[in-house]
Every structure is written in structure tokens, then in C-alpha cells.
Amino acid sequence: MAELVRVAGYSTVGLTLPTGLMPEKVARIRRFFRDAGIDTAMRVDLAPTSRNELLRFLRRFRNLYDVVSVKCMNQHVSIVACRDRRVDLVFFDPANRKVRFSNSLANLLRGALEFNIAATLQANESETLSRMSRDAAIAEQEKVPVVLSSGSTSAFMVRAPSQLAALGSLIGLSTERSYRSVSEVPWMIVSKNADRKSKEYVEEGVRVATPSAR
Amino acid sequence: MHMARRYFRVRIASEGPLLADQFGAAVTDVVRRYFGEVGLVRIEPRMIKFDAQRSEAVFACRRDAASQFEAALALLSHVYDAGVAPIVVGISGTIKGLRRKK
């Protein structure tokens, strides 16, 4: 899979691994990708069923992972996930009819909205694409940052960034926005979180300045 | 009238061995499925080359529908129940240019 990811033209991938996995195994998987010339960003996909569960997960996992993504299972969770700045990505399952992305959620959103191509390949395509188009139209309208990801669970779900961007155009994102959503936006999330983890970081806009040598 | 075209070099990862005809038909089917008969005529996908040993194929489509063809390729996940991943590794306006990009 790492080889295929490299052939597809990626330099960094977000790896979603089970939260209970042994650190040695995680290191081995990351080394596997590094040997193929690909950087990895550790990502956790949270699927809480309540507001309190989400807050508990965020307290526990935020500092352990480079990217935190929340699958919005219901309206309560989606409101908190959109508002909380610890959340990098929110994802709405197109098969879940209980919750949908709306203009009010777009206004609350501090992270980015994620579209997952794996959902398109697995579920009822026409319905999934129509829901994604509707969400994309809201994202365009409200100028919400969008991330297009392959959501690959196997090598057969890997697609090139340009293909993901083409899918973005298909669901109604502008060409420029589609390309940004597979390059600039995910890169900004990863680099911002790497910056947050650095020793000099205090809070947004505040850093410890080391005295320069004179 | 000359129709400007785009050429795609596609790397194919598949669960089993693939035949050129099977893969070409699968690509035509996926374009038809998502864009309909009119879309198929507008996109006009055509397989130019298929190299089973290197698991690569070269496709052509109309230039103004290149993005739609690329999206259709992204949506192709199975050929006769076998998992398949067509990954676009190069795009060019000429076949010669595609060869140069290798």
C-alpha cells in the first residue's frame, strides 16, 4: 500500500490506527511508510455518541495525535465538534440520515469539513454523491475549508490527489478549491498541529522567544 | 473537425490478472453509470494502450471533459467482483508528452 501511495504522488499521509495499538507496532507501520519515502501524520477518528463522550475523547486523545477527526453521529455531537477548536476535521456520514451539514454548523465550524471518497465507493453511490453535493454547496457558500480524503482501508481504495480533486469538482467544488482541499488545507492542519506540539508554543499567537546569539 | 484530447497514464492495482478488454469495458461502464449515455459521448473515453506486465494503461478523452473522466476513474473500484485501483500517474495533451513524463 505504501508503494501505491508513493506512485499516486503523495508525500504525506494521515494514518488512522486503532487507539489501543502497541507503540512498537505503530512505529513499525510508520517506518514501513518512511522506507517508501512517505511521511506520516497520526490521525484519530472519533465517533462519539454524546457531547460528554466527545469532550472526554478530546481530553484523552488531542495531545497524542497529529490530526483529530470527528464523525458526527448526531446533532448534539456535531454542534460541539464544529465549535471546539481541538477538532481538526468533521465528517458527516452520508448514510446517516439523523444528522446533516447545515449553514448554521458551517458558521460554527473552526476546523475543516472532510469528504471521504471511501463512502462513495462503498455505499449507495447516487444518494451519497447527492448528499456530498449538497454539503459541498453549503461549504462553498459559507467558505468553509474542505479536505478531500481517500479514506483508504485497502490498497484498492488509493486514488491520486488529482483524482480526488476531480471528484471534488464533480460534487460542486470549484477547481481551485478542489486542488486546495487535497494539498494546502490538509498540509496546513498537519503543520499547525506540529507547531502546537513544539516546545516554544504557548498558545495561538504566543511563542517563547529564545534569545538569539549576538 | 479536430477534437483536442487529454491523455492519461493509469497505473492499475488489481486483485487478479486483468484483460485489456475487461478493463476498457469497465471504464466505459463506469463513465456511463455516472454520466449517462450523453456524458459518455461527451467524454468519449478510449483506451489507447494496455500493458498487462507493467499494469499500466493509456486512456484518451476529450479535453473539456478531462476532469469528469478522471473522477469516473476514481469511482471505478471493481472489475468483475475483483478489487481494482486505477491511479492516474500522468496527464498530458499528447501521447509523446505522456511518454516524456515517465
- Percent pLDDT > 90 in chain A is 43
ipTM value = 0.90
Domain annotation covers residue A49 = yes
Write the pLDDT tens digit of every residue in A21-55: 777 888 888 888 888 888 888 899 999 999 999 99
pLDDT computed for residue A126 by the predictor:
77
Radius of gyration over alpha carbons of chain A, in Å? 18
CA distances from A135 to A49, A92, A150, A172 (A): 21, 9, 17, 9
pLDDT of the residue at B1: 64
Smallest CA–CA distance, residue B73 to chain A, in Å, is 8
Number of domains in chain A: 1
Q: CB distance A8–B87 less than 8 Å?
A: yes
Rounded CA separation B10/B56 (Å): 6
Mean pLDDT of B40-52: 93
Q: Where are the domains of chain B?
A: 5-100
Residue A157: closest C-alpha in chain B: B85
Domain membership flag for residue A66: yes
| Count of residues making up chain B | 102
CATH classification at residue A89:
3.20.20.140
- Does any domain span residue A209? no
Q: A82-93 in b/e burial notation, b at 16+ Cβ within 10 A?
A: bebebbbbbbbb
Spatial contact of B30 and B71, defined as CB atoms under 8 Å apart: no
Is B5-100 a CATH 3.40.50.2300 domain? no
Domain that holds residue A133: 2-194
The radius of gyration computed from the CA coordinates of chain B, to the nearest angstrom, equals 13
User: Tell me: the pLDDT tens digits for A105-141?
Assistant: 999 999 999 998 887 776 667 788 888 899 999 999 9
Partners of residue A154 in chain B, C-beta under 8 Å: 83
Residue A15 pairs with which residues in a beta bridge? A42
CA of A149: which chain B residue's CA is closest?
Answer: B74
The answer to whether A121 contacts B88, with C-beta atoms less than 8 Å apart, is no
CB A163 to CB B84 under 8 A?
no
pLDDT tens digits, residue range A59-101? 998 888 889 999 998 999 999 999 999 999 999 988 888 888 9
For A121, the enclosing helix (H) or strand (E) is helix A117-122
